[in-house]
């Protein structure tokens, strides 16, 4: 083997999923014995065989990925239960291996993948998808860029055809469930548990039953203020207006889309819009369009 072939062989071996008792499998998917595969690029020493040395890398690869994945989705784990979450995590990471220099991106494909694999979400599938959406929005809101926000004076000078954008860290979610309640509850437990020698706090079976919320349309913004994450529920009209602005619509067109299908009385709409823009200016959600 040349160096590239050796690297690819070792990478495939390291990425091989672990056994149920967290060991390296005896054979890979092609049926090759891993003892022979390990001997191609590993030397034994006076304490460990080539297989055992490779197994260390195999374990540490999966332990690191699974731990990072679990840290990003504790509420999803609470909703589906530990056993189902463990299986879900392995299957997801097999289908979506890390291809980035940072583990931050591990969960980037989870929502769409979970939608396509309802059997892994169980009977709480729809809630699980919404919870995963909120938790991934937390990652995006924490990391995404923030440009110079428009001031209240600049917003006051906008015209009907003005185009503006929504900050990249502002995550807009239309949910079937009030999934933010589950995420807030579980993330609060995680923070409290972190001060107790790193202990993980799991929801018991009875508590998981209470997580089965009734369907309730919820429009949510996850955003960042001075390095801290916040959740803010908004109306459908406000959500649709923000989505219109993000899609590049002019101000008047975005407002028209925002009130599409609305039952809000016409007389209340100007006051509602003034309130929205006041909050958006205060929170720095808006920025100029076309700046990347």
Segment 263-274, tens digit of pLDDT: 999 999 999 999
Containing 61, the helix (H) or strand (E) segment is helix 50-72
Which pLDDT value is given to residue 34?
97
Which pLDDT value is given to residue 122?
79
* pTM greater than 0.95 (yes/no): no
User: What is the distance between the alpha carbons of residues 140 and 111, in angstroms, rounded to a whole number?
Assistant: 13
Q: What is the pLDDT of residues 41-50, one digit of tens each?
A: 999 999 999 9
Q: What is the pLDDT of residues 149-197, one digit of tens each?
A: 999 999 989 999 999 999 999 999 999 999 999 999 888 766 544 443 4
171-175 vs 164-166, strand pairing mode: unpaired
Give the residue-averaged pLDDT of 139-158. Answer: 94
Q: CB-side exposure of 127: number of CA atoms within 13 Å? A: 25
Q: How confident is the model at residue 116 (pLDDT cuts 50, 70, 90)?
A: very high
pLDDT over 70, % of the chain: 90
User: What is the distance between the alpha carbons of residues 122 and 128, in angstroms, rounded to a whole number?
Assistant: 9
Which pLDDT value is given to residue 215?
85
* The pLDDT of residue 214 is above 80: no
232 three-class SS: strand
Which pLDDT value is given to residue 124?
86
Q: What tokens were used for 127?
A: 């809630």
pLDDT over 90, % of the chain: 84
Closest CA to 151 of 254, 292, 282: 282
Which pLDDT value is given to residue 212?
53
Distances (CA, A) of 242 to 37, 70, 113, 167, 273: 54, 31, 26, 10, 11
* The pLDDT of residue 198 is above 50: no
User: What is the distance between the alpha carbons of residues 103 and 71, in angstroms, rounded to a whole number?
Assistant: 11
Which pLDDT value is given to residue 118?
84
273 three-class SS: helix
Q: What tokens were used for 67?
A: 């731990």
Closest CA to 179 of 207, 217, 206, 205: 217
How much is the mean pLDDT over the chain?
90
Q: What is the pLDDT of residues 54-69, one digit of tens each?
A: 999 999 999 999 999 9
> Lowest-pLDDT range, 97-106, 157-166, 212-221?
212-221
* The pLDDT of residue 205 is above 70: no
């Amino acid at each position: 083997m040349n160096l590239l072939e050796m690297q690819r062989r070792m990478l495939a071996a390291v990425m091989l999923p672990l056994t149920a008792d967290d060991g390296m499998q005896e054979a890979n998917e092609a049926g090759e014995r891993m003892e022979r595969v390990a001997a191609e690029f590993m030397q034994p020493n006076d304490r460990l065989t080539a297989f055992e040395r490779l197994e260390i890398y195999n374990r540490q690869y999966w332990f690191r990925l699974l731990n990072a994945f679990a840290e990003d989705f504790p509420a999803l784990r609470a909703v589906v239960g530990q056993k189902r979450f463990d299986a879900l995590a392995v299957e997801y990471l097999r289908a979506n291996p890390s291809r980035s220099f940072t583990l931050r991106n591990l969960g980037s494909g989870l929502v769409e993948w979970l939608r396509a694999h309802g059997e892994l979400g169980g009977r709480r599938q729809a809630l699980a998808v919404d919870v995963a959406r909120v938790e991934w929005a937390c990652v995006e809101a924490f990391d995404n860029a923030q440009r110079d926000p428009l001031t209240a004076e600049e917003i006051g000078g906008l015209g009907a055809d003005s185009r503006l954008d929504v900050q990249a860290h502002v995550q807009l979610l239309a949910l079937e469930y009030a999934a933010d309640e589950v995420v807030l509850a579980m993330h609060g437990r995680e923070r409290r548990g972190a001060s107790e020698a790193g202990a993980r706090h799991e929801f018991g079976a009875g508590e998981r039953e209470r997580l089965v919320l009734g369907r309730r349309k919820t429009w949510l913004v996850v955003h960042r203020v001075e390095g801290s994450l916040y959740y803010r529920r908004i109306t459908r009209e406000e959500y649709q207006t923000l989505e219109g602005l993000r899609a590049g619509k002019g101000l008047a067109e975005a407002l028209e889309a925002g009130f599409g299908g609305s039952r809000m009385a016409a007389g209340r709409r100007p006051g509602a819009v003034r309130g929205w823009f006041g909050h958006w200016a205060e929170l720095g959600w808006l920025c100029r369009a076309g700046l990347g």
